[in-house]
Structure 1
Amino acid sequence: MAVVFTALFAVVASSGVALVVLGSVLSGRSDAPGAKLLATFAVVLGLGAVCSAVVGVWESSSNPTVTPLWTQLGLTGWALSTVPWFLFALVYTGRSDRIGRRTVAALYLPFAGLVMNFVWGFVGSGISGVANAIGSLVLLYTLALAAFGAVLVVQAARSYVHLSLREGVGLAAAPVLVVLALNSVTNLQQSATVLGPAVYAASLSVSTAALWAVLARDSVLDRVPAVETVGTREIIQETDDLVFVVDDRGTVVECNPRVVEILGVNRPEILGEPVTEGLGEGPGDLRTRETISLETTAGRRQYDPQVSELTHGDTELGAVLSLRDVTDRQLREQRLAVLNRVLRHNLRNKIDVIKSHAEVLRDDRPNQHVHTITETADEIRDLGYEARTIDRFLSESTVQEVDLVEVFETQYETVEPETDGLSVWVDHPETAVVTTDRAAVEAALKSALENAVSYASSTVEVVIEADGDGYAVLVSDDGSGIPEQELDSIDAGTETPLQHGTGLGLWQLKWAVTTVGGELSFETADGTTVRFTVPDVS
């Protein structure tokens, strides 16, 4: 029997040494969040196992039937390791990033009960009941630390894309399996002496092997779940939006720093108060509002409120209120609307005046100057029409079933070729029906066709073909190609005095394709090929 005991405790000691070695390896990973805490856990648990094994061998050679001291040493080592394990779980999962000495001291304070338990155990039986009660409380406390840490790690493994559930369970195995084994030893000792060390050796060796296997992968410590938790928290903290969390009664329970900064209030003044006091309206009213006006440190500003319900099953817990400052956007939209309407109206009237006078001059004195005036006036008028078309599909989006072949044929009839004898080659199915924005598709096809007939030398090719759930439209010409400065402006997404186009045609094409959710590309190696896609949004 002594040989069996020695063999089992040799397994325990080997596992303890392996844990200490693992801890020394992890201690060199100071850059990884939680690595040093996990190293401390492994070293403390390993040293407890080694001490337990040494005492176990000694006890088995002297009197193996008495209540073993090795179990108490093993349990003490495990209990002391639960604090660094718990702290590792907090840091690794991003629940906390600031672990100070006071926190560590506070977590170890209940362990004074273990010392008292050992001391009072030798004083006498008169207070042995108190000692056992204190020991039980400390055991429950350490069980809570181990269990809570294990739950945090396993939950993080379930949600974090770079950590598998198997790896999370492997990390959590050591603090859980070891205590289950040690707490089973007392009962096992009463029935069969050798089962206690056997269970302890098995659980410790399995836990050690699991830790080594999991931590052998660099990704476990290189890509930690803390980035997900901290990132989610920082989104709320760093966003420029005003964010409130309210309960089901509309009382503010949390807010981000931006609220304090923008509204000019103290955080304690907001928490616990109805959200209506700060915003003037509750979550129910905010759901129906497009904008609300708030007095801020920068004056009165307009905000777009968004309300997201917080629920647990079928129970409504509260809501998250997010308010985005749209003052500048509203002013910009108003300026554009006014300028667009006034300029188009005035432009059309002024062009009519210019053309009428030019026609009188043409009748009296026909010459090239009059022709240039009339032609330029027509071009300016066309710009006004293009601006109106763009405004229509950008502001009045209507999604419906659209046959691209029918739209192409309709738009082609409105295009006037600038080259005599221009041939148009068409390849398309009988129908090409998609659910999309009709006005935007009409504008995109018209722009692509006008561009092709403007630059083509002799031939224009139009192809409509299936592309995923929708269709792709290709319009090619054999001309000199779109001027580089035109494409540069489109690629840059803006126009500057040194980089600008000559009209709205390509902008209309780009905005129309963007409106339908498609992709636009240009090929200018041999003539010009405009390709854009029209996805089906049904």
Structure 2
Amino acid sequence: MSEHVEQLVGILFRTLTEEGYTEAQTALLDTYQNNSNTDKEELTEDLFAEVVNGLDRHLETEEEIEVLTTAIEQLLNRFSSVVEAAPVAILAVDASGQIELWNDGAERIFGWSEPEVKQRSYPDVIADSPEDMAAHFARLQEGHQLTGIETLHRRKGGSVLNVRIWASPLQERDEGFEGATFVISDITEQKQREQRLAVLNRVLRHNIRNDVGIIQGHLDLLAESVDGDSEHIRAMEDRLSTIVELSDAARHIEKLRDKSEVELTTVDLKRVIRERVDRLQREFTNAEIRTAVPDSASVMAHELFPYALDNVLDNALEHNDAETPLVEVDVSTGGKSVRRRTTVSVADNGPGIPEFEREVLTSEKETQLNHSNGLGLWLTRWIVRNSDGTLTVEKSAWDGTRIVIQLPTRTR
């Protein structure tokens, strides 16, 4: 049943207790318990009607009016406190789009006071493009909700804001569309920060690649003039490769967005793992790589998930000092629960991930005392979390490392 009706029933129960209406209190409790296991959506209004009928049978008219009025006032006060204290803009409009409710958060974000906007058209007052808002409003009139729509709005002084909108239609059973409620958050600073980082990222990558190309050219010329294999030249080439890898990682970071904005894609684990294992077998000829992957193993994940898998597999072999490096990749799907998950585990017989690197994969944020030598592990963590997944680090059966990733199973 509706949470609002449940709250109203709770307030009615307390009011009856405070006023000493014991018989009506017992009847209310019986009515609620008799309806508690029925379909929530269908019987919300029926429950409230039965509650009112029960009060009518056990209270005088004036007593009933007093109890209901007190309960509804308390409920409205509670909702009003939440609406006014919210840090986001909350507003309600009627069927024609005129503003009927405008909270303090809306005034802080847009600069208009409630009297200035009351009974004025929402699109005309704050929308940067009334035409776009008309299209969104049409969706609400059709009974659809708006979930995280990004658009532009304007403050009272004319400055433009980036906003994200959630909205739901108000509909009466017989009357149809009666208006809508909106929750609007200001994401202007977030967007500006993303734009600055994107520009900085592109400039740095461009400069790094140009400089690395020049250095590599001079290094090749130097290598031609040196007799035999030079340890110093190899060390410099390794460092240049690391710089290029960091540049590539930065490019991937730019593609990672807020989780709420990401559209997950289907990833065929059998194909992706086979491609990665074939590559690793060519690069690490002395390694033993075992796989156990079902014929049908598809998950919903961020488009960069194969890159995250590369990081995990590369880490299992590149830092493996065993005489015969061993990596075991296992994929298993969960049962038939509503929220099915697929588990991907990568176990090795290496020395184990250092504690500070382990914290990078499992902690919530990076600090000066908790940081990775590179961006690979950070990217792995971000990609998994943007895939609605989880990642844990365990000790493997050979005292190495076992990384376990769980992702949403792709359902047909």
Scaled by the length of structure 2, what TM-score is found?
Answer: 0.72
The Cα of 1:481 is off from its aligned counterpart by 0.9
- Which of 485, 488, 491 does residue 359 from structure 2 map onto? 488
SS in 1 for 2:155: strand
Indicate how the Cα distance of structure 1 residues 491 and 286 shifts in structure 2: closer, same or farther if over 3 A, else same.
same
SS in 2 for 1:439: coil
CA contact (8 A) 1:286 1:305 kept: no
Distance 1:159 1:329 in 2: 44
> Using CA pairs below 8 Å that are at least 6 residues apart, which structure has the higher relative contact order?
2
Q: Which residue of 2 aligns with 1:464?
A: 331
CA contact (8 A) 2:360 2:377 kept: no
Q: Which residue of 2 aligns with 1:361?
A: 222
Question: Which one has a larger percent helix, Structure 1 or Structure 2?
Answer: 1
Alignment of 1:139-178 (within 5 A): 173=54, 176-177=57-58
Q: Which residue of 2 aligns with 1:304?
A: 164
Indicate how the Cα distance of structure 1 residues 412 and 350 shifts in structure 2: closer, same or farther if over 3 A, else same.
farther
Alignment of 1:99-498 (within 5 A): 173=54, 176-177=57-58, 232-280=79-127, 281=130, 283-285=133-135, 290-295=150-155, 300-313=160-173, 315-365=176-226, 367-392=230-255, 399-415=264-280, 421-429=286-294, 431-437=295-301, 439-456=303-320, 457=322, 458-468=325-335, 469-498=340-369
SS in 2 for 1:461: strand
The Cα of 1:254 is off from its aligned counterpart by 1.2
Distance 2:195 2:330 in 1: 40
Question: Which one has a larger percent strand, Structure 1 or Structure 2?
Answer: 2
- Which of 473, 481, 500 does residue 371 from structure 2 map onto? 500
User: Could you tell me which amino acid in structure 2 is paired with residue 447 of structure 1?
Assistant: N
1:40 aligns with 2:16: no
CA contact (8 A) 1:286 1:307 kept: no
The Cα of 1:270 is off from its aligned counterpart by 2.1
User: Could you tell me which amino acid in structure 2 is paired with residue 487 of structure 1?
Assistant: R
User: Could you tell me which amino acid in structure 2 is paired with residue 450 of structure 1?
Assistant: D
CA contact (8 A) 1:252 1:275 kept: yes
CA contact (8 A) 2:162 2:188 kept: yes
Distance 1:295 1:319 in 2: 21
Indicate how the Cα distance of structure 1 residues 451 and 417 shifts in structure 2: closer, same or farther if over 3 A, else same.
farther
1:95-143 CA-to-partner distances (Å, cap 9, x unmatched) read: xxxxxxxxxxxxxxxxxxxxxxxxxxxxxxxxxxxxxxxxxxxxxxxxx
Question: Greater Rg, structure 1 or structure 2?
Answer: 1
SS in 2 for 1:320: strand
Indicate how the Cα distance of structure 1 residues 326 and 416 shifts in structure 2: closer, same or farther if over 3 A, else same.
farther
Distance 2:136 2:154 in 1: 13
Distance 1:272 1:228 in 2: 25
Indicate how the Cα distance of structure 1 residues 174 and 292 shifts in structure 2: closer, same or farther if over 3 A, else same.
closer
The Cα of 1:41 is off from its aligned counterpart by 3.6
Distance 1:398 1:384 in 2: 25
Identity %: 24
Distance 1:435 1:35 in 2: 49
SS in 1 for 2:304: helix
Q: Which residue of 2 aligns with 1:510?
A: 381
The Cα of 1:452 is off from its aligned counterpart by 0.9
SS in 1 for 2:150: coil
Distance 1:537 1:427 in 2: 18
Distance 1:290 1:36 in 2: 43
Indicate how the Cα distance of structure 1 residues 385 and 357 shifts in structure 2: closer, same or farther if over 3 A, else same.
same
Moved more, 304-313 or 240-249: 304-313
1:374-431 CA-to-partner distances (Å, cap 9, x unmatched) read: 11001111222233344446599665544211110112233378866221122222x1
SS in 2 for 1:272: coil
Moved more, 307-316 or 402-411: 307-316
Indicate how the Cα distance of structure 1 residues 316 and 300 shifts in structure 2: closer, same or farther if over 3 A, else same.
same
Moved more, 330-339 or 383-392: 383-392
Instruction: State the Cα RMSD in Å.
Output: 4.2
CA contact (8 A) 1:393 1:439 kept: no
CA contact (8 A) 1:440 1:515 kept: no
User: Could you tell me which amino acid in structure 2 is paired with residue 467 of structure 1?
Assistant: G
Distance 1:159 1:253 in 2: 36
Scaled by the length of structure 1, what TM-score is found?
Answer: 0.57
